[in-house]
Amino acid sequence: MRQAHVTSPPPIRSGDAALVQRALARDEAAIRAIMQANNRRLFRLTRGILRNDSEAEDAVQDAYVRAFTHLDQFRGDSSLSTWLSRIAMNEALGRLRCKHASVEWSELPNRAADAQIIQFPLSSAADPEKSMAQREIQQFVEHAIDELPEAFRLVFITRVIEGMNVEETADILGLKPETVKTRLHRARTMLRDNVERKIGPIVMEAFPFAGRRCERLTEAVLKRLGITA
């Protein structure tokens, strides 16, 4: 008796058009592929606006629901990633406007990432102190980025953290490429100044030379000078 031939779905091809067509047909693998390719970017962008992890995750979920519900409106004028980024940013901006209705949004266009802003390589469990220090550094950097003004923070996140080029950043944020370059330079300057101001007192306490180390050095010198036995 011949066994029935079971056909498997064709492999997902690279390119937005193939994924969009399969997603429109509610192909789970295609939808997963789109989300996995864009989760980090969308989270970082929304968190850059909302500055709250849980709110950013909620915004990304709502953005995905909106995007997949209206996926037939994607025309391919820009990349799928850029299209999704605009929807996610609109969702985050809308949430922020609801919370702060009096905020002026002239700096940002009214258009339509897993959960960490910056991922430092964590050491193994064998070195918990180093892991804790790395997490503290990560949190410190995230807070410093959070304190950048909105327009500069988004340019910094898209260009530096997400690694997008100038043209793609300009497209997503609705800016001129020259404006992207100017804002990135300004963001780096403000971030550096902020970090130096905050970390200065901490650096002054680095490499303490007291306690047993101080005593050991003192005794060694005294011994070499023949002052002590």
pLDDT of res. 194: 83
pLDDT of res. 121: 40
Residue 29 or residue 204, greater confidence: 29
Instruction: Encode pLDDT of 148-184 as tens digits.
Output: 999 999 999 999 888 889 999 999 898 999 999 999 9
Structural domains of the chain, with CATH = 9-114 (1.10.1740.10), 122-229 (1.10.10.10)
Q: Binning pLDDT at 50, 70 and 90, where does residue 117 land?
A: very low
Average pLDDT, the chain: 76
Whether residue 96 has pLDDT greater than 70: yes
Task: Please state which of the ranges 11-20, 45-54, 161-170, 199-208 shows the lowest mean pLDDT.
Answer: 199-208
What is the residue whose two structure tokens read 């709110």? 55
Give, in order, the Cα–Cα distances in Å from 95 to each of 28, 83, 110, 174, 215. Answer: 28, 19, 13, 19, 59
- C-alpha span between 9 and 7 (Å, rounded): 7
Query: Can you read off the two tokens belonging to residue 148?
Result: 């950048």
pLDDT of res. 207: 54
Amino acid at 91: E
Whether residue 19 has pLDDT greater than 50: yes
Whether residue 193 has pLDDT greater than 60: yes
Could you please report the per-residue DSSP string of 104-120?
--TTS--------SS--
pLDDT of res. 170: 92
- C-alpha span between 162 and 202 (Å, rounded): 29
pLDDT of res. 184: 95
Quick one: how far is CA 213 from the chain centroid?
41
pLDDT of res. 85: 92
Instruction: Encode pLDDT of 40-88 as tens digits.
Output: 899 989 888 888 888 989 899 999 999 998 999 998 888 999 999 999 9
The proportion of the chain whose per-residue pLDDT surpasses 70, expressed as a percent, equals 69
Residue 196 or residue 182, greater confidence: 182
